[in-house]
Structures are given as C-alpha cells and as structure tokens.
C-alpha cells in the first residue's frame, strides 16, 4: 500500500489512539463537511428567516440527515470526534480548538468562538468548561498514560470571553497521586485572564475500560 492510500485510510477510519499533536486545517472532504456544519450552525443562529425560508432550509437539512443516515455506523466506528489532526476533532459540539504546542505535561491552543456559542455578547458559560475539558482530557490521557475520565472541573470566570477574536487556552498536568491526576488550565484574550480551571481525572480500573474499541491502538498493557 503506498503512502497516499495509507494516509487516506487513516483519516477515513481513525482509531482511538490520540497522538495529541498540533492540529492542521485538513483539506479532505470530512474536514470540509465539519466546517460546513459549523457554518450552518452559525448561519441559523445569526438569521431571522421568514417562514418560507425557514421551512425550505429545514427540508434541506432533513434531506441531508436522511442521506447521511445511509452511512450510519456504531459510535466506535464513527469519524467525528476521532479526527485528532483537525481543530475540534471533526466534532461540532465544542468550538474548534486548535492545538498549537504539546509536551508531556503542557499543552497550548487557540479558539475563536462565534455567535452559535454565545451567551449574549460573550461566550456562553457552559462552553468554557467544554473547551477546558477538551484540552485537559487529551493532555491527561496523552504520553501513554492509561485512560482516565473527568471527575470534576472547577471553572472560575474572570472576565467575559469576547466573540469573534482569538482566545488562548493553556493546560498543565499539575500532579498525580495514585489514580488521581490533577490538571490546571487558563484561557486568555491577549493579556486578559478570561477563565481558570482546576480539574481532576481518575485513572480507570480494568473493569471500567471494558469497551475494547476505545483501547484499539494503545496496547492492552496501557489500557488497563
Ligand atoms: C473505556 C473508557 C475510556 C474513557 C476515555 C475518556 C476520555 C478520552 C480522552 C480523550 C479523548 C478525547 C477527547 C477529549 C474530549 C473530551 C473528553 C470526553 C471524555 C469525557 O467526557 S469523560 C465523561 C465525564 N466523566 C465521567 O463520566 C466520569 C463519571 N464518574 C466516574 O465514572 C467515576 O466517578 C470515576 C471513574 C471518575 C471514579 O470512580 P471510581 O469508583 O473508579 O473511583 P473512586 O470513587 O474510588 O475514587 C478514586 C479517588 O478519587 C477521588 N474522587 C473521585 N471522584 C472525585 C471527585 N469528583 N472529587 C474529588 N475526589 C474524587 C476519591 O475520593 C478517591 O480518592 P482517594 O483514593 O484519595 O480516596
């Protein structure tokens, strides 16, 4: 198999093995699909259509959902959420977080939030923990560390997070005691601290990682 085919297989059939590396803006069709879906979310949010236009748009979207349903697979087989190379992992729940720099204990990224994620002229307060969870969970689970799940996220909102401008997100692996991994993070707009977070991740016991597909590509000894 040549390199082009291997790369193609990789992005169309990704594994749960997150390399946790800086993201790139993919130029393939799934990356385009994700971006188009984000554009729809933003356009619906920003619009005040008349009934006719709203009805036509709804029919188009239902038609699209039906066409994609022909390709439905189990959660462990889907592409969305496992495109580690893309901002937001090919998932549109969170705003698209770009990962810029990663070490074993630190990660840095950036994100620009639109009106879809607005809580009225500033980022919705529920979206901030989503962004923190995204980067902290990936850092907590990187570098061959066994799977861990979020036990808590404590977020302090220090300033309204502006929309439409780049926000910097920083994450740190602050320490480990037994199965407990302590994580910290912060979000900035320029020099302004927008939010801070303390998080606890708990390493899962073998009977908590029974879903074999999630361990694919990580090696049995690392997944339990
Ligand atoms: C096969 C599963 C693989 C899971 C993979 C997960 C993530 C994948 C990672 C990256 C992938 C990609 C994308 C990243 C983006 C998003 C991430 C999505 C992942 C999630 O979306 S994840 C969902 C949210 N998350 C949950 O759905 C957890 C629900 N929950 C539980 O599943 C249990 O609660 C668990 C397992 C956490 C612990 O349960 P347990 O029975 O194993 O452990 P136990 O209770 O014995 O606690 C042991 C020691 O932790 C202390 N402790 C526990 N909880 C505490 C708390 N809240 N505050 C303070 N201390 C706490 C105890 O006090 C004790 O401390 P001590 O040893 O000192 O006494």
In a domain, 55, yes or no: no
Q: What residue's CA is closest to ligand 1, atom 25? A: 150
Q: What residue's CA is closest to ligand 1, atom 34? A: 151
Atom of ligand 1 minimally distant from the CA of 134? 15
Least trusted range by pLDDT, from 51-55, 66-70, 130-134, 144-148 = 144-148
Atom of ligand 1 minimally distant from the CA of 205? 42
Whats the size of the chain, residue-wise?
Answer: 224
103-146, pLDDT tens digit by residue? Answer: 999 999 999 999 999 999 999 999 999 999 999 999 999 999 99
Q: What is the CATH number of the domain that holds 176?
A: 3.10.129.10
In a domain, 66, yes or no: no
Confidence of residue 221 (pLDDT cuts 50, 70, 90): very low
In a domain, 30, yes or no: yes
In a domain, 216, yes or no: yes
Domains of the chain: total: 1
* Token pair belonging to 64: 């699209």
What phi, psi does 171 have (nearest 5°)?
Answer: -135, 145
Coil/strand/helix, residue 129: helix
In a domain, 35, yes or no: yes
In a domain, 101, yes or no: yes
Measured distance CA(127)–CA(196) in Å, rounded: 13
Confidence of residue 213 (pLDDT cuts 50, 70, 90): low
93 CB less than 6 Å from ligand 1? no
For the residues 163-184, what does the mean pLDDT come to? 98
pTM of the model: 0.91
Pocket probe mutation, ligand 1, options 75, 177, 202, max atoms within 8 Å of Cβ: 202
In a domain, 130, yes or no: yes
Residues linked to residue 109 through DSSP beta bridges, in sequence order: 99, 169
Confidence of residue 207 (pLDDT cuts 50, 70, 90): confident
Domain enclosing residue 208, as ranges: 3-48+72-223
In a domain, 59, yes or no: no
Cα–Cα distances (Å) from 47 to 44, 53, 124, in that order, read 5, 10, 19
């Amino acid at each position: 198999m040549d390199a082009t085919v291997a790369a193609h297989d990789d992005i169309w059939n990704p594994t749960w093995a997150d390399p946790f590396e800086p993201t790139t803006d993919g130029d393939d069709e799934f990356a385009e699909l994700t971006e188009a879906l984000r554009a729809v979310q933003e356009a619906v949010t920003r619009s005040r259509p008349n009934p006719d236009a709203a009805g036509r748009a709804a029919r188009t979207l239902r038609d699209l959902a039906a066409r994609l349903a022909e390709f439905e697979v189990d959660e462990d087989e889907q592409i969305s959420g496992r495109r580690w190379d893309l901002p937001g992992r090919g998932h549109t729940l969170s705003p698209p977080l770009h990962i810029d720099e990663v070490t074993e204990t630190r990660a840095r990224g950036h994100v620009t939030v639109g009106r879809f994620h607005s809580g009225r002229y500033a980022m919705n307060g529920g979206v901030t923990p989503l962004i923190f969870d995204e980067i902290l969970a990936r850092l907590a689970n990187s570098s061959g560390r066994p799977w861990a799940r979020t036990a808590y996220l404590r977020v302090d909102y220090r300033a309204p997070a502006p929309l439409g401008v780049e926000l910097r997100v920083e994450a740190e692996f602050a320490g480990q005691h037994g199965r407990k991994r302590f994580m910290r993070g912060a979000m900035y707009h320029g020099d302004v601290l927008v939010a801070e977070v303390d998080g606890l991740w708990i390493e899962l016991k073998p009977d908590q990682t029974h879903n074999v597909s999630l361990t694919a590509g990580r090696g049995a000894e690392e997944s339990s």
